[in-house]
Structure 1
Amino acid sequence: MSLAGLLPRIWTQLPALCAIFSLFLLFATQLAGALLPNAPLLVTSGAAGLALDACLLHRRPALLSPLSRIRLDVTVRQLLRDMLIVVALLRINGIDPEREMPPLLGALSAFYVLHFACQAVSLLVRRARTLPVVTRNIDVSALNPTAAPPRVLARQAGQRLLAFSVPATAGLLATALTAHGRWGAIGLAASLTMIGMGVARLAGWLLPEKRPASDAQVMEWLDDWLAEYRPTVAMYFSGGASSAYQANMWLSTLAGLERPLIVLRERFMVQKIDATDVPVLCLPKVTTLFALENSTLKAMLHPANSGKTSQVLRIPAIKHAFINHGESDKLSSCNPYAKAYDEVWVAGPAARERYALADVGVEDKDVVEVGRPQLAPIRPYSGPPAGKYTTVLYAPTWEGWDGNPGNTSVVLAGEHIVGQLLNDPRVRVLYKPHPMTGSVDQRAGAADERIRALIHEANAKRSGPRPGPEAQVELLRREAELDRLTSTALRGAADELERMMLQGTPAGDGASRIARATAAWERAYWASSPEWEHRIVTGPRPALYACFNAADLLISDVSSVVSDWLSSEKPYAVANTSGLPEDEFRAAFPTVSAGTVLTPDAATVRYLLDAVRDPRQDHHTADRAKLKEHLLGPSDPPSRERFAYAVRQLCTKSDDRRARANARPAPAIPAPRTAGDVTSARRGTAPDA
């Protein structure tokens, strides 16, 4: 690796290196104080080491992770710290090692015994409170849920050890400084009392009145709940923490179906799903997943592929449809894995043709056009910009896994595109990068940072009237209201079981209240900044579709963003960083056919802006309307109706399959072989011989 590439890595690791060096320096100083012996040096370094360790563990625990990897975790560090004090006490004049040290050593040993006992009890408590299922929006009162024990007792072993060690360590250091053993005895007695009370309190969660239902009882409860709720259709999702948006985009559509259910596989994902009234059921293990086999569930919708999808596909009574989380001309939109599903649901004829051309094993009869029901909030084109400024949304996608330079324009063209836009005094830029930008290619992350710097610099050079303070007050008020409605966060000490208890009853009309609160927040958001100010939009708010409604022009890459934007029929442009000539680029990616193609230098941006401001120069108006129907299907009937109809049809196919299975005679299953049968077979004789 070159020096230029090595320096940034060293710089990012500098805080961790400084923290580790400081701890080792304090240990070395404490060792010197113990061997000399030098009581002031010992006390100063020991107290500073304990304070630094506790501070880092509380505020920046990641900095200490390298020490844990070399088996120098917090328990070893604190034990070493105390042992150095003991060594010093054995060498300091004025302390009788035969009379004063045995009680202190015995008490210190008892403290660590209780610490490890607390560790064992906390493990038992966590296991008892970890159920085979995790839920949201489901009443779990029958499972005897209770509030979680204090986090410092149940889950923060390192912080617990350091906190309870303070009196003992302080007392021993005071003994080293004064040569009086009573200070150590007082400190150790305090620490023993604290850790003993902690063990006793934690053990209370193992008593019957606080112990939740057993695994067998939970599975029996799950069967009863499924029989009572009688789910018809479920959305199945599995993935990493950053992929939750793929499921969240379908929540509003799912909520409009009959008796819907959300099925997850990762425990952490339960809290990653946005606020919804739909019941959420997480089934981490395959054995619990098959509880769905005997339920009333008929159809399952899959917004993404994952390794765990194959497990649920083995339930024959459920029909499965792949609904995807976005469509584009990229190869990932025609994954061969799609042939594993009973049906593949797409937006319009373009995706059907894409699967046919890809020839990945998806038969045309299994492709169902349902539109994109999530696009309802996008407002249609209403003419050229009416105000002083033309708002341009630059929403590039991320770099992808295959290293193709045409995946994202951020690396090769992003700075040129934004630079050209910022050169026009009548443009306001909205920059919304993909949340995974820079996760694979560091160059994309670096380019993203430079683009943000350009926007900040451009804003610093602009001036004009700003909204009054009441606009910011209104935004804060609306944000607080929306946070209250959408937040899934609870108190920091809450564990899975407590969250299941507190999130057991949905609001009932939560979806409509959230929609109203979101619309009010979006109005306050755009009103809180001057119309001339460029914006860098990150995080979940404002959502992409809200940015669509605020923009007059989109510049993006070959991605589902372009397909969704076309529902508005507004002008758009696509950056070509693939290296293909424009004619080949348009032929390879049909979503580009009704837009402007930008080269990496973005030299034609000014002509694109002229066409946006003057419709007479816009030669793609009719093409966009035609391409919209080709990509997204007809507007009548609405996509929500087509989607709901496809769900009903899939459920009907499930009913038909069950009817055929029930009509077939049960196969004759041979009786299990006995030990005598096996022995006779080995001897070559009949069982009765």
Structure 2
Amino acid sequence: MRPAAKPFLIFALAASFVAQATAALLPNVPLLIAATATGLATEAALHRWQPGLNSQFTKVRADVTVRQVIRDLLLVVGVLELDSQQRETGYLPLVCALLFFYALHFAGHATAILVRASRTMPLLTRNIDASALRITPAPPALLMGGPGPRLLLFGLPATAGLLTTAASDEPEFAAAGIGLSVLLACAGLAVLLWRLARRRPASQEQVLAWFDAWLAEYQPTVGMYFSGGSSSAYQANMWLETLARTDGRPLILLRERFMMQKIGATDIPIVCIPRVAQLMRLEHSTLKMLIHPANSGKTSQVLRIPTIKHAFVNHGESDKLSSCNPYAKAYDEVWVAGPAARERYAQAEVGIDDRDVVEIGRPQLAPIAPYAGPPTGPHTTVLYAPTWEGWDGNPGNTSVILAGENIVRALLADPGVRLVYKPHPMTGSVDPRAGAANERMQELIREANHRRTGSRPGPEAAAALALRTAELEGITASSFRKGSDDAERMLAQSAPPAGRAEAVAAATAAWEEAYWESLPDWEHQIITTPQPALYACFNQADLLISDVSSVVTDYLASEKPYAVANTSELPEDAFREAFPTVRAATILTPDAEGVAALLHSVRNPEHDTLVRSRAELKLHLLGPSDPPSLERFNEAARSLCARADGHRARMAQRMLSMIPAPRAAVAEETTTSAEASKSLLNVAPEV
């Protein structure tokens, strides 16, 4: 629903109450019926299209329950005004029955809270067999969700009965409607009480004991820790394949429950531990190290575990301050792509010891195709992928506000350009000007497409895309029943099919190929969805235009031409000096004056003077290609695990030295026997 509908719904809701009150006091039956129907229709629209507006009403104590109580109260007033002779004798039982319905509704809501609490696990898992926890399907969503929709639906017969009585002066209709509402409320309450009494899953203590047993059996060694908002899941997803291919037994550790369904397809066991008290149980596990793709407020909690070593790997590297944050001091090591990041930390003087910086390359960049020469077709594909505005208000963060529209206009003015526009998903989340500029650029691109004509791929291309889409959705689509809760989804994801992650990767690659084949090569594209992914857009592009961001660093893996918009107000020489990632780029001013010359150099490589600079900068930013990045990642993981082992051994020896001699001998003998048993069983291999 359009944003303009929000004030319309507020007005419609307020007007319905005013009209209903007026109709009840006059009284006026047609107006009473129309006002009540309008109010109920507006409630349905609010729940369907504006749930956020409902939340705002709740903050001012005007939630749907209060609104429905007022609505029914006005109906009762109207009925009494219409038939004043039976005011005390005929309608008193009906009013009492209506109050009883509301009592049942509140009892049902309280019971739903208890049922929800009994089904709230202290931790959630994925790709781990949870059948031992006695998890059952969740009660119907209507009973377990917010009380508003349930009240509106169960109370509809009572409302209809009161309206019919108002129109006919027959109390029997109100009695029948209220009676049906009471029966519905009783049935819902009975279902919830039965679930509460007879079908409880395992208790919190049992779940934690089960998890401890799983940890002892699985013996995890390496893991990834992630905490963040709903739009930040991509930061963790980019490390899934790398983590899956590491030596040892991997584990993914999350802190937010909603993040469980945001993590992409993987066979790695995933566990979400929201509370710090349960998180500390990992201290006694075999987990030796965690990689961290992002900083968050909750990261400090896991850093308190002394038996685990921590490496900050980030979710991309750029010249921004966020890529050399002082928070990195909290980690045992900082893993970077190449020498440039090492120099960045040294120059930033944020307290990072150079000995703790480890160069591992960027294992995620393997799918990026290398430069294969200038464009061969009639169109030059230009990818404009600006970053978002950031938290600090620096005008140099994004080109969207100051330069974006100029860049887009300059590109659209060239008939030989095919523009692919992929803005950052958080564009406009901090500065409304960025969001507005983003919308204007998209409108410019749509208008340019209306002016273009050309042949389109045949129906077989569309059929191939539909087939690949169906295949991908068949693998990745949620199999959850509508209304399932976290516990039910936990059970449903206990045992994924073997090799599912590889199947999803293959299906995604096939879908991306079919997607590009289904598009005409002359048509500009706006991509605001996760698919096709950024790297797939890289492989389509002959030229990238972006900002100072990790997008530039990753794109350099292809050694294709690229440009960076300078909206920092720095002179070009100072801009290149301040941001090493742009030293092999064409620098565009906010007026986009250099776009024409840039396109000429892309189409005519003999005029491209930055070829050698890009190759040198790639080595400086991403490090050598031999040994491969994944091998360097594994070596860094083995080294950090060895540090964890050494720390544990020293702590164990220190504890032994504090025990009196006779007891120390027994303790040492016990420890040695246990380690020997583990070695024989091979249950805790080194990473």
- TMscore range, shorter length: over 0.9
Matches of 1:67 and 1:542 in 2, distance apart? 38
- Residue 396 of structure 1: how far off its partner (Å): 0.9
Who is 1:486 aligned against? 476
More off after superposition, 80-89 vs 299-308: 80-89
Give the count of matched residue pairs: 659
More off after superposition, 297-306 vs 153-162: 153-162
The correspondence for 1:198, drawn from 163, 172, 188, is 188
| 1:62 is aligned to 2:62 | no
- The change in CA–CA distance for 1:659 and 1:64 in structure 2 (over 3 A counts) is closer
Matches of 2:165 and 2:586 in 1, distance apart? 79
The correspondence for 2:579, drawn from 586, 589, 592, is 589
More off after superposition, 595-604 vs 288-297: 595-604
| 1:644 is aligned to 2:638 | no
- Residue 17 of structure 1: how far off its partner (Å): 2.4
Who is 1:530 aligned against? 520
Q: Given that residues 6 and 50 in structure 2 are in contact (C-alpha distance below 8 angstroms), is that contact kept between their aligned partners in structure 1?
A: no
- The change in CA–CA distance for 1:315 and 1:93 in structure 2 (over 3 A counts) is closer
| 1:387 is aligned to 2:377 | yes
Q: Which residue identity is paired with 2:628? A: P
CA distances 1:323-344 after superposition (whole Å, capped 9, x unpaired): 0000011111100000110000
Who is 2:24 aligned against? 34
- The change in CA–CA distance for 1:667 and 1:118 in structure 2 (over 3 A counts) is farther
Q: 2:27 aligns to what SS in structure 1?
A: coil
- The change in CA–CA distance for 1:489 and 1:358 in structure 2 (over 3 A counts) is farther
Who is 1:570 aligned against? 560
Q: 1:207 aligns to what SS in structure 2?
A: helix
- Residue 234 of structure 1: how far off its partner (Å): 0.8
| 1:340 is aligned to 2:362 | no
Q: Map 1:542-561 onto structure 2 (within 5 A).
A: 542-561=532-551
Matches of 2:527 and 2:306 in 1, distance apart? 44
- Residue 13 of structure 1: how far off its partner (Å): 6.3
Q: Map 1:26-425 onto structure 2 (within 5 A).
A: 26-93=16-83, 95-208=85-198, 210-257=199-246, 258-425=248-415
Matches of 1:379 and 1:422 in 2, distance apart? 26
Q: 1:574 aligns to what SS in structure 2?
A: strand
CA distances 1:161-186 after superposition (whole Å, capped 9, x unpaired): 01111111111222222222111111
CA distances 1:86-114 after superposition (whole Å, capped 9, x unpaired): 22232223752333122112211110110
- The change in CA–CA distance for 1:153 and 1:537 in structure 2 (over 3 A counts) is same
Q: Which residue identity is paired with 1:319? A: K
Q: Given that residues 479 and 521 in structure 1 are in contact (C-alpha distance below 8 angstroms), is that contact kept between their aligned partners in structure 2?
A: yes
Q: Given that residues 121 and 199 in structure 1 are in contact (C-alpha distance below 8 angstroms), is that contact kept between their aligned partners in structure 2?
A: yes
Who is 1:675 aligned against? none
Who is 1:502 aligned against? 492
Q: Given that residues 360 and 629 in structure 2 are in contact (C-alpha distance below 8 angstroms), is that contact kept between their aligned partners in structure 1?
A: yes
- Residue 36 of structure 1: how far off its partner (Å): 2.1
| 1:439 is aligned to 2:453 | no
- Residue 488 of structure 1: how far off its partner (Å): 4.4
Q: Given that residues 122 and 204 in structure 2 are in contact (C-alpha distance below 8 angstroms), is that contact kept between their aligned partners in structure 1?
A: yes
Matches of 2:155 and 2:335 in 1, distance apart? 60
Q: 1:425 aligns to what SS in structure 2?
A: coil
Who is 1:4 aligned against? none
Q: 1:664 aligns to what SS in structure 2?
A: helix
- Residue 628 of structure 1: how far off its partner (Å): 0.7
- Residue 666 of structure 1: how far off its partner (Å): 4.4
Q: 1:170 aligns to what SS in structure 2?
A: helix
Q: 1:429 aligns to what SS in structure 2?
A: strand
Q: 2:384 aligns to what SS in structure 1?
A: strand
- The change in CA–CA distance for 1:567 and 1:71 in structure 2 (over 3 A counts) is same
More off after superposition, 13-22 vs 607-616: 13-22
- Residue 522 of structure 1: how far off its partner (Å): 0.9
More off after superposition, 483-492 vs 83-92: 483-492
Q: Which residue identity is paired with 2:410? A: Q
Matches of 2:317 and 2:121 in 1, distance apart? 37
Q: Given that residues 233 and 260 in structure 1 are in contact (C-alpha distance below 8 angstroms), is that contact kept between their aligned partners in structure 2?
A: yes
Matches of 1:51 and 1:416 in 2, distance apart? 45
- The change in CA–CA distance for 1:629 and 1:382 in structure 2 (over 3 A counts) is same
- The change in CA–CA distance for 1:607 and 1:38 in structure 2 (over 3 A counts) is closer
Q: 2:86 aligns to what SS in structure 1?
A: coil
Q: Given that residues 254 and 272 in structure 2 are in contact (C-alpha distance below 8 angstroms), is that contact kept between their aligned partners in structure 1?
A: yes
| 1:622 is aligned to 2:588 | no
- Residue 33 of structure 1: how far off its partner (Å): 2.0
| Structure 2 residue runs without a partner (length 5+) | 661-687
- The change in CA–CA distance for 1:44 and 1:422 in structure 2 (over 3 A counts) is closer
Q: Given that residues 271 and 488 in structure 1 are in contact (C-alpha distance below 8 angstroms), is that contact kept between their aligned partners in structure 2?
A: no
More off after superposition, 188-197 vs 15-24: 15-24
Who is 2:450 aligned against? 460
Q: Which residue identity is paired with 2:635? A: Y
Q: Given that residues 20 and 64 in structure 1 are in contact (C-alpha distance below 8 angstroms), is that contact kept between their aligned partners in structure 2?
A: no
Q: Which residue identity is paired with 2:207? A: V
Q: Given that residues 342 and 354 in structure 2 are in contact (C-alpha distance below 8 angstroms), is that contact kept between their aligned partners in structure 1?
A: yes
- Residue 540 of structure 1: how far off its partner (Å): 0.9
Q: 2:212 aligns to what SS in structure 1?
A: helix
Matches of 1:262 and 1:275 in 2, distance apart? 12
Q: 2:129 aligns to what SS in structure 1?
A: coil
- Residue 440 of structure 1: how far off its partner (Å): 1.1
Matches of 1:180 and 1:33 in 2, distance apart? 19
Matches of 1:402 and 1:574 in 2, distance apart? 20
Q: Given that residues 132 and 218 in structure 1 are in contact (C-alpha distance below 8 angstroms), is that contact kept between their aligned partners in structure 2?
A: yes
Matches of 1:605 and 1:43 in 2, distance apart? 64
Matches of 1:41 and 1:461 in 2, distance apart? 51
- The change in CA–CA distance for 1:665 and 1:172 in structure 2 (over 3 A counts) is closer
Q: Which residue identity is paired with 2:214? A: W
Matches of 1:395 and 1:61 in 2, distance apart? 32
Q: Which residue identity is paired with 1:529? A: L
Q: Which residue identity is paired with 1:248? A: N
Q: Map 1:466-481 onto structure 2 (within 5 A).
A: 466-481=456-471
Q: Given that residues 139 and 504 in structure 1 are in contact (C-alpha distance below 8 angstroms), is that contact kept between their aligned partners in structure 2?
A: yes
Runs of 4+ in structure 1 off by over 4 angstroms are 11-14, 666-670
Q: Given that residues 12 and 38 in structure 2 are in contact (C-alpha distance below 8 angstroms), is that contact kept between their aligned partners in structure 1?
A: no
Matches of 1:125 and 1:279 in 2, distance apart? 28
Q: Which residue identity is paired with 1:344? A: V
- The change in CA–CA distance for 1:515 and 1:43 in structure 2 (over 3 A counts) is closer
Q: 1:377 aligns to what SS in structure 2?
A: coil
- Residue 207 of structure 1: how far off its partner (Å): 2.7
- The change in CA–CA distance for 1:665 and 1:99 in structure 2 (over 3 A counts) is closer
| 1:450 is aligned to 2:440 | yes
Q: 1:244 aligns to what SS in structure 2?
A: helix
- Residue 74 of structure 1: how far off its partner (Å): 1.0
Q: Given that residues 271 and 489 in structure 1 are in contact (C-alpha distance below 8 angstroms), is that contact kept between their aligned partners in structure 2?
A: no
- Residue 347 of structure 1: how far off its partner (Å): 0.2
Matches of 1:121 and 1:547 in 2, distance apart? 51
- Residue 47 of structure 1: how far off its partner (Å): 3.2
What percent identity do the matched residue pairs reach?
A: 62
- Residue 667 of structure 1: how far off its partner (Å): 7.2
The correspondence for 1:632, drawn from 622, 647, 660, is 622
- Residue 386 of structure 1: how far off its partner (Å): 1.7
Matches of 2:578 and 2:293 in 1, distance apart? 25
CA distances 1:576-635 after superposition (whole Å, capped 9, x unpaired): 111111111111111111121111111111211121112211111111111111110100
